[in-house]
Amino acid sequence: MIEHLAILQVVLPLMAAPICLVIRRTQLVWLFTLLVSGLAFLISALLLQQVMTSGTISYEIGGWQPPWGIEYRIDQLNALLLLIITSISTLVLVAAQTSISHEIPAAKQNYFYILYLLSLTGMLGIVATADVFNVFVFLEISSLSAYALIAMGKNKRALWAAFQYLIMGTIGATFILIGIGMVYQMTGTLNMYDLSQRLPEVAQTRTVLTAFVFIVVGLCLKLALFPLHLWLPNAYTYAPSIVTAFFAATATKVAIYLLIRFVFSVFGFSFSFSAIPLQPLLMALGISGIFIASTLAIYQTNIKRLFAYSSIAQIGYMMVGFSLGSVAGLTASLLHLFNHALMKSAIFLALAAVVYRLGHVRVSDFQGLGRQMPITMAALVIGSLSLIGVPLTVGFISKWYLLSALLEKGWWMIAVLVLLGSLLALVYAWKVVEAAYFKKPIPNKRVVTEAPLSIQAPLWILIFANIYFGIDARLSVQVAQSAAQSLFGVSL
Amino acid sequence: MNISLELMLQLTIILPAIGALLIVLTNSKPNLRDAVTLTTAAILLFVVVNLYSGLASDQQITAFWWELLPGLTISFSVEPLGMLFALVASFLWLVTTCYAIGYMRAHKERNQTRFYCCFAIAISSVMGIAFSDNLFSLFIFYEVLTLSTYPLVTHSGTREAKRSGRVYLGILLGTSVLFLLLAISGTWHVAQSVEFKVGGVFSKDIDKTLASILLLLFVFGIGKAAMMPFHRWLPAAMVAPTPVSALLHAVAVVKAGVFTIIKVCVFIFGLDLLPQLPSSQFLLYLAAASVLIASLVAMRQDNLKLRLAYSTVSQLGYITIGALLATPAGVIGSTMHIATHAFGKITLFFCAGAILVSLHKSNISEMRGIGRQMPLTMIAFFIGSLSIIGLPPTAGTWSKWFLLMGSIDTEQYIIMLALMISSLLNIAYLIPIPFYAFFPNSSSKSSPVAERALTNVQIKEAPLASLIAIIMTTLGCLFLFIYPQPLYELAAAIIETRE
């Protein structure tokens, strides 16, 4: 059993999805989905533990030896990603039943869970597999289900948002597929490890260079790097709250993972950073993403959209760390990837609680919520503090590591810019806090009470994690560091 | 009671935090809640005093909590400078609590539980700052202090409070995130250590330009020291209830700022390296300008609390100057000024609050003749003013003396001149207040307000609890003049540990 964990992780939610159709009763479907996600979480925890103690796990599907068969390969990097995805997915699912009861018509709720499971399958598959074509397959599974999930939003504009995402996402996926095809044409293999061995021989050809550019651009579309982020704000704003909480923490992270994987493991660090000016490009886009997206966030009146822009800005930070091309920089990026998943899922869950009570999350709706929903608002404040990067929260840990990585390279000016960017976070996050605390509730107009426990419980677990990993960062730092080191040290 | 000194050191931080929790739990019973606050403050003072006597026994008192990141720990140790700051803050917390109970009840403020709770958390972080063993833990408590005082500043929840809260948070978090964090990270990078070490952490052959930039980042990053041009938050914070202004913005927050500056100057840069840096001279002039300009601005303020706020900005400049002079006399003067200015300024703020509560006056122009209604308060105000100016028989004399000595030692005559002019300005903006309070008709034009005050002579002092607090701090000002030895010894010990 234990040696099949790597594949079980992906197969479990995939098999569970059609079973949901048979169960039919929504309540049971929810419990079943939760159970499956919880099991996946357990598996990923076991995998991480196994990887940390005994090194990389390689699994051959159907016993076919790689590079002919499909290989699943779990090292520190994707073990960390698997853990992030499954843990957030499970926590968010706890709140799902309550939250979607107000947002999705009863007849469609079963489909919601099915799509959710498929989307989860796709993400886990992308992360676990070591076969580039397999990556594309799972990318499509997760994307297609994501489009459908977003289209389920209550607002009619959700359809338009989903369509927008569909177009952009498909372009991205096509680019990636073109890249993969070219690489296959040049090397005749699809296995990542095999590719990393064969690519250097043909590294000087124009085809490989083109393939690399196609893949990088495609991935940047998927991970919503500024200025390829246009699909993201609408998608996050109009999707059902639960979907936003889940995707904000995982979807873009998976794309970032792929970028790291392709750049470091498949094409190799020295090729990637010398073939095209990746460093200045990503650095410039990252920094401008931080500033432009944060500034746009300040002017939003819909709070879900505000935090959606904030997500784009946070991706900028990860790109800055990534573009440094150093162990410290990559560690900072991976740490922020983990930490940002914690903050954003917490924040969007808190917003889900507000949507559950009020129906929408415009800034003006927040009037007096500090009194009416004190517990949810307290969680939102802590989440925002974490986003700003106040000490004793995870945000600070990310910031410190990014700063250290920048200073190690001697890039003081970029360090100043990064810190300035986090001040913008203060501005937009505080806008929400002021709206909630500094105005009296609208009298006699509405009765708002605290959100139910089913949303509060996962929310506060996430908030607790935000503080816990901000105080005792040894675990997350160790995993991120060893993952970064192994990416630089020995290629896959 | 036989508690080890190490435990006591940790208790100074934990106790107020527990107090904050108990305050929340006793929300529904105001009397019990206030009793909890008072008891916590008293126990804290007791612990800190015990710690002080432990310091004399010449043993190292340290405590280690945990390692946040590799090499960066949250740990504490007791040294004279931190001891002095902790003594002042814990004593004045007790006094202020006493005052606040009178004030808040008389003023019928809302959300008193939140008020006392945030207050206790703020004190907890002040203790953390005072005893931090390295820059990193200091930074953490520094930020906690900013955040925990934000609800206090915006206590009233009005539009104005919101706006002031923005300035407060914007400047304090902004400078600390932008400059201080960068400075700490830079120090960590250059010296591989952020621990407070006697003689500094940098090696002798450090690049002077780099060190200069770091010094600039530090001094500007410590926004709590309210050096111009980052002083705007302090006047803005005056919308807070008076006890908050008194303790936090005359003692805890601003002193945490200058305390950090002294710490950085003495224990990160070291008194040998500091004078060699080109930026330290620039900062000295900037601080001197801050002292003078703030004094001039203070003269133009009619709102009493605002005038006191600008006066604080100016006095904080003195402390920064003393630290940057980097001579024994300068550092001793700065350190003593932390304590003496705290006693003087808190007295003045208490008086301002008392006037507001009893007579509902907050503008100086309305205060003619109030000496007849509030004689004790106005006498206290007079003594407090003397201490701020630095005249005998008050505590301020000593610290200003040492600061002047420091500037003469280093032949910084421009600085010396600035300090003296500012003292004259202090007289000009403080003394008229108690003077006209007692002698409303001494200037040629007498206002109708003053005449009414004359006809309506009725003693109307502040609530008893507040009055006791005022008298205690006033006596403190006088007492520290007669008996400044403990203060001096602590300050001198900072210099001695240098060798």
The Cα B353–Cα B336 span in angstroms is: 26
> Given pLDDT bands bounded at 50, 70 and 90, which one contains residue B451?
low
Cβ–Cβ contacts within 10 Å for residue A307, how many?
A: 31
- Residue A22 one-letter amino acid: V
Question: Hey, is B349 helix, strand or coil?
Answer: helix
Cβ separation A415–B185 shorter than 8 A: yes
**Type of residue found at B153:** V
Dist CA B15 CA B4 (whole Å) = 15
**Residue B1 scores a pLDDT above 50:** no
Task: Work out the number of other CB atoms within 10 angstroms of the CB of residue A365.
Answer: 22
**How many angstroms away from the CA of A366 is the closest CA of chain B?**
15
Q: Given a cut of 60, is residue B284 above it in pLDDT?
A: yes
Looking at chain B, which residue has its C-alpha nearest residue A400?
A: B185
CB A351 within 8 A of CB A261: no
pLDDT for the residue A491: 43
- For residues B144 and A467, the answer to whether their CB atoms sit within 8 Å is no
Q: Give yes or no for residue B366 having a pLDDT over 90.
A: no
Residue B63 carries which DSSP code? E
Q: CB within 8 A of A192, min separation 6: which ones?
A: A73, A130, A131, A132, A261, A265, A266, A492
Choose among B69, B70, B177: nearest Cβ to A423.
B177
Contacts of B185 in chain A (CB under 8 A): 400, 403-404, 407, 415
Inside any domain, residue A378: yes
Asked if A419 and B189 come within 8 Å (Cβ–Cβ), the reply is no
**Residues of A in Cβ contact (< 8 Å) with B149:** none
Specify the number of domains making up chain A. Answer: 1
Yes or no, beta carbons of A404 and B173 under 8 Å apart = no
pLDDT score recorded for residue A229: 87
Mean pLDDT by groups of 10 residues along chain A of 492 residues:
80 90 88 93 91 85 81 88 93 90 86 92 92 92 93 88 92 94 90 88 88 93 88 91 91 92 88 86 92 93 92 93 90 93 93 87 82 88 91 90 90 90 90 82 69 89 92 86 82 42
The answer, yes or no, to whether residue B444 has pLDDT greater than 80, is: no
Amino acid at A189: T
Q: Average pLDDT over chain B, rounded to whole?
A: 85
Does residue B454 register a pLDDT over 70? no
Q: What is the DSSP letter of B68?
A: E
Instruction: Provide the pairing of β-strand A71-74 with A57-60.
Output: antiparallel
| Every domain of chain B and the residues it spans | 5-496
Would A20 be classed as within a structural domain?
no
In a domain? residue A443: yes
The answer to whether residue A184 neighbours chain B at the CB level (below 8 Å) is no
A425: closest chain B residue by CA = B174
Domain hosting residue A361, numbered range: 299-492
Average pLDDT over residues B257-271: 90
- The pLDDT assigned to A1 comes to 60
Name the CA dihedral angle for B305, B307, B308, B311, rounded to a multiple of 10 degrees.
160
Compute the nearest-CA separation of B316 from chain A (Å). 26
Which residues, numbered 435 to 464 in chain A, qualify as contacts with chain B under a Cβ-Cβ cut-off of 8 Å? 437-438
Rounded to a whole number of angstroms, the distance from the CA of A373 to the nearest CA of chain B is 17
Instruction: Dump the DSSP string for A434-471.
Output: HHHHSSPPPTTT----PPPHHHHHHHHHHHHHHHHHHH
On the question of pLDDT at B84 being above 50, the answer is: yes
The residue-averaged pLDDT of B169-194 equals 88
| CB contacts, 8 Å: B181 with chain A | 399-400, 403, 419
B126-138 residue pLDDT tens: 999 999 988 989 9
φ/ψ (deg, to 5) at B148: -75, -20
Whether the CB of A475 is below 8 Å from some CB of chain B: the reply is: no
Q: Is residue A268 part of a domain?
A: no
Contact A419 B139 (CB under 8 A): no
Enclosing H/E stretch for B76: strand B72-77
SS3 state of residue A53 = helix
Q: Are B332 and B402 in contact (CB under 8 A)?
A: yes
Place of tokens 């024994």: B328
Whether B100 shows a pLDDT value over 90: the answer reads no
- The answer for B227, left when phi > 0, alpha when psi is -120 to 50, beta otherwise, is beta
Note whether A472 contacts B: Cβ–Cβ < 8 A: yes
Chain A residue nearest residue B173, CA to CA: A423
Residue of A nearest to B167 (CA): A427
CA distances from B160 to A126, A369, A381, B152, B200 (A): 52, 20, 21, 14, 43
Flag if B140 and A391 touch (Cβ within 8 Å): yes
pLDDT in tens, B395-436: 888 888 888 888 888 888 888 898 889 989 999 998 888 888
The stretch B432-446 carries a mean pLDDT of 75
- Write out the two tokens for B204: 């002798």
> Which residues in chain B have their CB less than 8 angstroms from residue A407's CB?
185-186, 189
pLDDT for the residue B445 = 53
Residues of B contacting chain A (CB within 8 angstroms): 66-70, 139-140, 143-144, 147, 154, 157, 159, 161-162, 165-166, 169-170, 173-174, 177-178, 181-182, 185-186, 188-189
Confidence at residue A9, expressed as pLDDT on a 0 to 100 scale: 87
